[in-house]
């Protein structure tokens, strides 16, 4: 931290016997210009600290830490210079060599250095947080380096793939209608944490929890990177967009005990990483190590990181990668009251952030409804799986699909998930894109160099008659219909919906369901949509607008009873009724592939009716008698024309007289009572 006389340096290293602070003239300098030795007089408990006069912002530095040695397993390795875990910026990327952080060879000329920076707070007066309610929130997951790149990108060439370039793409996001963007990891990561010949593109390989990733910066001045992140967040706030950051606190890029010594390992690997009684690293991240977030010093570092990004850089929330791993205690025992989340929820400066987590880890722990933190929403993987299975036509899928449409009460103690607790999604960065979900039966990951062994084998996908690209009109039309069915199911369900970058324009990864190393057009945004892509984009844009319009009816904090009950006749009382081909007769049998539901208000009768036909033939559905004329809002089965027109269309005379609709095979229809659009303004 900068002081009136210079800079105060501080480092946590409880078991160290001696520490050296090395100051460099530049990030690529091969040797330090000054070495400051810290002894016991520079120690307060577990903290080593020293004030160095005559230096300031821009100073580059690293640490050398000495202590007990256990060669081949643990202990300190003073041949390695270490990155400060609290550094707000990093320099030396042009000389960094990951391989030289292995073994006992000195890495002085190839190490990364921290850079002394300002620690100013974000200007919330100029760009206040949008603070969208969970009820209104629609999340869009994107990759900063890939969203503004690709043939046809509207972003200026020299800004593509950068924080500032993303600013130029904000109008696209606003037009789409999303309220919140979720950025894949933007904390500094090691792109070389990958097999030979590949680079880590996604960034789930953290090297620092404080510094922004250098590759997304415009220019190469490490002192400018934090300001560029602030400019991005400011522009998003001023456009009404929230910014969530995907954070990887469950592991680091140092791998297991055979991995490189870059930062945490060299300070005290027994403090930061879970280990067994023999000293072997325990791994529930799938990446070689697991952070011991139950320990006080580790929790303090994570909390400082969150404050850095939320208060200094202005972001509006976090998505915890494999977040349930952070709830494990000693020997990886699951904790019902994990201290990290207790401290997050008790911190007044973090109290108003949006917090989302994966409720699973690679050790088999899965806690969705009972995620042990009151204010953390969880990715609802069951929603993804069950919606996919229904529209694919699987047996034993109808009842679970109905539960997802009702807010997953079967998973949340018999009641729909509390608002903000269930993040619903169909696709994410990990897995097929939506276009590939309906175009491939199996993964095609050979480009990753692992003989197609990587990536999930259980995708609940279906190619609809041909593997991959196809010119058969019957196949392509059916795929387009299924895309609309899936998206309508997502955006008409309670919960907080999340869309994946490019799904709205049928972005494909060629069947690759694990594009973690594909920093090329395969992993970038699709900026040259054809006519069919644009038609889906318009459908999604109007569907999001419809969700905002009907937000009051889709609010899971006002659960819809499924019986009329004592309050049925009271104004404003909404109850859901399930139907099948006949009214009030849902078919929950294992072989059923059709379902319908209606929302009804008091004595006014039905307000919405939705029919869903996942069968391979057309089916005729009886529709409720409404006090007001029915309007057709969505019909995904229309081969031509607009499946979600700007103005709802009245039913035909025959449909009104018969009180029934013929739904095309594998299609969805939504009817709305005529006055509803005016009564439920967003």
Residues carrying an active site annotation:
321, 358
Q: Rounded CA gap, 24 and 27, in Å?
A: 7
Residue 494 φ/ψ, nearest 5 degrees: -65, 160
The answer to whether 361 and 395 have CB atoms below 8 angstroms apart is no
What value does the CA radius of gyration of the chain take, rounded to a whole number of Å? 27
- What's the rounded Cα separation, in Å, for the pair 154 and 616? 41
Rounded Cα distance, 21 and 367, in Å: 43
Q: Which of 565, 567, 596, 564 is nearest to 580 (CA)?
A: 596
Spell out the long-range contacts of 652-659 with Cβ–Cβ below 8 A and sequence spacing 24 or more: 655/623, 656/630, 659/622, 659/623, 659/625
DSSP SS3 for 609 = strand
Find, among 55, 13, 2, 56, the residue nearest to 38 by Cα: 13
Give how far the C-alpha of residue 3 lies from the chain's centroid of Cα atoms, to the nearest Å. Answer: 38
**11 three-state secondary structure:** strand
Cβ neighbour number for residue 175 with a 10 Å cutoff: 10
Nearest to 631 by CA among 676, 581, 576: 676
Helix residue ranges, H only, 239-333: 264-272, 296-307
**CB atoms near residue 394 (< 10 Å):** 18
* CA pair distance 591, 208, nearest whole angstrom: 51
Q: Could you write out the DSSP letters of every residue in 125-140? A: TTS------TTT--EE
**β-bridge pairing 89-91 and 18-24:** unpaired
Report d(CA 682, CA 670) in Å as an integer. 18
Whether 543 contacts 175, CB under 8 Å: no
Residues in the chain: 682
∠ CA 177-179-180, nearest 5°, is: 130
CA–CA dist 676, 674 (Å, integer)? 6
CB 20 within 8 A of CB 64: yes
CA angle 385, 388, 390 (to 5 degrees): 110
Whole-angstrom distance, CA of residue 295 vs CA of residue 201: 31
Beta carbons of 48 and 10 less than 8 angstroms apart: yes
Q: Going by DSSP bridges, is the β-strand pair 139-142/180-183 parallel, antiparallel, or unpaired?
A: parallel
Residues 614, 485: Cα–Cα separation, whole Å: 9
If you write DSSP's letter for every residue of 80-92 in order, what string do you get? S-B--TT-SEEE-
- DSSP code of residue 383: H
Pairwise CA distance, residues 137 & 102, whole Å: 45
Strand partners, 142: 183
CB 341 within 8 A of CB 327: yes
Kindly compute the dihedral angle of the four CA atoms of residues 402, 374, 336, 370, in this order, to the nearest 10 degrees.
Answer: 0
Q: Which pairing describes strands 660-663 and 619-622: parallel, antiparallel, or unpaired?
A: antiparallel
Kind and range of the H or E run holding 422 = strand 422-425
């Amino acid at each position: 931290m900068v002081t009136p006389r210079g800079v105060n340096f501080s480092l946590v290293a409880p078991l160290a016997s001696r520490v050296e602070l090395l100051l460099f003239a530049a990030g690529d300098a091969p040797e330090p210009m000054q070495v400051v030795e810290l002894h016991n007089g520079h120690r307060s408990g577990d903290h080593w600290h020293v004030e160095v006069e005559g230096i300031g912002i821009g100073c580059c530095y690293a640490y050398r830490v000495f202590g007990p040695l256990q060669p081949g397993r643990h202990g300190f390795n003073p041949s390695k210079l270490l990155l400060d875990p609290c550094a707000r910026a990093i320099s030396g990327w042009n000389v960094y060599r990951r391989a030289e952080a292995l073994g006992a060879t000195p890495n002085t000329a190839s190490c990364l250095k921290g850079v002394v920076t300002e620690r100013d707070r974000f200007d919330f007066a100029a760009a206040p947080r949008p603070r969208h309610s969970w009820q209104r929130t629609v999340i869009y997951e994107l990759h900063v380096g890939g969203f503004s790149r690709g043939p046809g990108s509207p972003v200026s060439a020299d800004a593509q793939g950068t924080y500032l370039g993303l600013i130029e793409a904000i109008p696209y996001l606003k037009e789409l209608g999303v309220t919140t963007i979720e950025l894949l990891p933007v904390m500094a990561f090691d792109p070389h944490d990958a097999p030979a010949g590949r680079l880590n593109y996604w960034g789930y390989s953290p090297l620092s929890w404080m510094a922004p990733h250098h590759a997304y910066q415009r220019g190469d001045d490490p002192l400018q990177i934090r300001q560029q992140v602030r400019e991005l967040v400011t522009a998003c706030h001023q456009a009404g967009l929230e910014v969530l950051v995907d954070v990887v606190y469950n592991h680091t890029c140092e791998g297991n005990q055979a991995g490189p010594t870059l930062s945490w390992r060299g300070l005290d690997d027994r403090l930061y990483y879970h280990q067994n009684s023999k000293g072997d690293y325990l791994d529930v991240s799938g990446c070689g190590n697991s952070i011991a977030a139950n320990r006080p010093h580790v929790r303090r570092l994570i909390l400082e990181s969150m404050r850095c990004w939320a208060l200094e850089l202005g972001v509006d929330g976090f998505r915890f990668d494999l977040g349930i791993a952070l709830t494990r205690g000693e020997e990886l025992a699951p904790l019902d009251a994990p201290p990290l989340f207790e401290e997050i929820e008790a911190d007044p400066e973090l109290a108003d952030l949006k917090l989302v987590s994966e409720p699973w880890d690679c050790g088999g722990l899965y806690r969705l409804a009972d995620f042990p933190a009151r204010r953390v929403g969880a990715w609802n993987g069951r929603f993804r799986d069950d919606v996919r299975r229904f529209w694919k036509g699987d047996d034993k899928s109808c009842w679970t699909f109905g539960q997802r449409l009702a807010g997953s009460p079967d998973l949340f103690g018999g009641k729909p998930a509390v608002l903000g607790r269930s993040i619903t999604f169909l696709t994410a960065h990990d897995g097929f894109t939506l276009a590939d979900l309906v175009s491939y039966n199996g993964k095609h990951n050979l480009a990753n160099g692992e003989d197609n062994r990587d990536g999930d084998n259980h995708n609940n996908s279906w190619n609809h008659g041909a593997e991959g690209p196809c010119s058969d009109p019957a196949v392509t039309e059916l795929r387009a219909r299924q895309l609309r069915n899936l998206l309508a199911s997502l955006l008409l369900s309670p919960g907080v919906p999340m869309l994946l970058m490019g799904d709205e324009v049928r972005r494909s990864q060629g069947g690759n369901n694990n594009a973690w190393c594909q920093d090329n057009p395969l992993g970038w945004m699709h900026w040259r949509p054809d006519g069919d892509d644009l038609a889906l984009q318009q459908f999604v844009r109007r569907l999001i607008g419809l969700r905002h319009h009907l937000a009051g009816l889709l609010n899971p904090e006002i659960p819809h009873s499924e019986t009329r009950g004592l309050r049925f006749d009271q104004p404003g009382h909404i109850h859901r009724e399930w139907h099948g081909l006949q009214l009030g007769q849902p078919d929950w049998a294992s072989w059923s592939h059709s379902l319908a539901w209606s929302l009804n208000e008091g004595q006014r009768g039905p307000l919405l009716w939705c029919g869903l036909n996942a069968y391979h033939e057309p089916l005729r559905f009886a529709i409720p008698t409404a006090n007001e004329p029915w309007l057709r809002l969505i019909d995904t089965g229309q081969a031509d024309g607009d499946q979600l027109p700007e103005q709802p269309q009245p039913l035909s005379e025959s449909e009104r007289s018969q009180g029934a609709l013929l739904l095309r095979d594998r299609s969805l229809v939504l009817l709305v009572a005529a006055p509803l659009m005016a009564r439920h303004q967003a």
